[in-house]
Structure 1
Amino acid sequence: MAKPPARSKRRGPQLDRILLENLLDNDGALVGRGDDREAERYSRVDFSGRDFTGTRFAECEFHGVDLNTTVLRGSTWNECVATELHAAVFSAPRSSWRDVRIEHSRLGSVELYDSGLRSVQLDGSKLDFINLRNATLTDVLISNCIIDELDLSGATVQRLELRDCRIGTLDVAGARLTDVDLRSSDFSAIHSLEGLRGATIDDAQLALLAPLLAAQLGILVE
């Protein structure tokens, strides 16, 4: 008797609930580099061009905030919710994100290289370029997003799901993937196919990747 097909052992992202209460409204005028901000609400605040290097935001809410060219290097974000963020250049390399949800935002170039993301959700947003080179991602869900280029080269990724997204180019050169689900998203191009080890794709995606796989293996298809 034939054995039944083995069930996938892939695990999806484990996202913690974010509950924000008793927030104080803040116009952002006094927020500065290296500050420790907690339980605050920022609504329609313009932070563009400000220096928030090393600043920590905990249990904060952001709505309609402009972060264009804001310096966020080494910043920390814990238990934060953000909606309708705007930034042509979102610069937060070497930053730390834990229990964060970002929704309905429009970001251009997103610099998150060498960053750490844990229990992070990005939903319903449009992004031109996400630079996650050499970043560490654990329990991340990206859903209903349009992304021109997603760069995961050199990244260590565990339990990432790209759900119902349209991705132009995905770069996974040197990436280390575990429990990564790409099945419900569309891709125009994928660079460094060997970096997909540890990812789950569907039959339709495999058919699209077949010519690239054949070329990489030196197989002539006629």
Structure 2
Amino acid sequence: MPKSPTRSPRIEDLVLRDLAVPEDGPEAGDHREGERYSSTSFDGLDLGGISFSECLFEGTSFNETQLRGARFRECRFTELFAPVFTAARSTWRNVRLEGTRWGSAELYDSTLESVRISGGKLDFLNLRSSTLTDVDISDCIIGDLDLTGVKGARVALRNCRVNTLTLSGGRLRDVDLRTTEFRALNGPDGLGGVTIDSYQLALLAPILAENLGLRVEG
């Protein structure tokens, strides 16, 4: 019986209307809704547990901002800047991230659902033990992408360049890596549920042979 084709991420529509300019700055644990932030610096703030719903962030900086347990729902970020981005155990639902520039991004133990990341540069993206559902990452340059222990369904990396990809211990289904270039792979045991093309398979052959204890001679 032929296998079914790899399913693509299902990204919900996102429309933001009637946004207000906030009169005060957000604080940890706040719920902020329907707001627009332009060229705003959140650098160094403690915003742990904060919730943003239906908000637009344009040219904002989140360097060393504490976002542990933060929740983002129906939000759009353009040109988000953060040499150090700390958002462990955060929740992202129906979110767009466009032109993101992250140095070290700590998003381990997080939940991403209906998220699109496009056109960014990320030196290190740590998604260890996160749950990714309907996530589309396109046209990004990523140094190290750590998907150790990730539970992922309908995830696509399209036209990306990844230096080192780590997949150990993940539970993956319909994860599409075709059209993405990666130079090194850690944890080839985590490739179950991943779709690659024939060119990528040829590049991976030595890694897979070593993992299986195969000797190739002649």
- Give the AA of the match of 2:160: C
Give the Å deviation of 1:9.
2.9
Alignment partner for residue 131 of structure 2, among 132, 136, 145?
136
Q: Residue 120 in 1 paired to residue 105 in 2?
A: no
Alignment partner for residue 14 of structure 2, among 15, 18, 23?
18
Unaligned runs of 5+ in 1: none
Alignment partner for residue 31 of structure 1, among 12, 26, 48?
26
- Structure 2 partner of 1:72: 67
- The runs of at least 4 aligned residues of structure 1 exceeding 6 Å deviation read none
Identity of aligned residues (%): 52
TM-score, structure 2 normalization: 0.97
Distance 2:116 2:99 in 1: 12
TM-score, structure 1 normalization: 0.95
Alignment partner for residue 212 of structure 1, among 195, 199, 207?
207
Distance 1:36 1:135 in 2: 23
Give the Å deviation of 1:215.
1.1
Note the 1:21-170 alignment, pairs <5 A: 21-26=17-22, 29-170=24-165
Note the 1:185-200 alignment, pairs <5 A: 185-200=180-195
Deviations 1:119-159 (A, max 9, x none): 00000000000110000000000000000000000110011
- Give the AA of the match of 2:81: H
Structure-2 change in CA distance of 1:193 and 1:72 (3 Å) = same
How many residues in Structure 1 have an aligned counterpart in Structure 2?
A: 217
Distance 1:81 1:207 in 2: 38
Aligned residue for 1:168, secondary structure, equals: strand
Alignment partner for residue 9 of structure 1, among 5, 20, 38?
5
Unaligned runs of 5+ in 2: none
- Give the AA of the match of 2:5: K
- Give the AA of the match of 2:147: L
Q: Residue 179 in 1 paired to residue 174 in 2?
A: yes
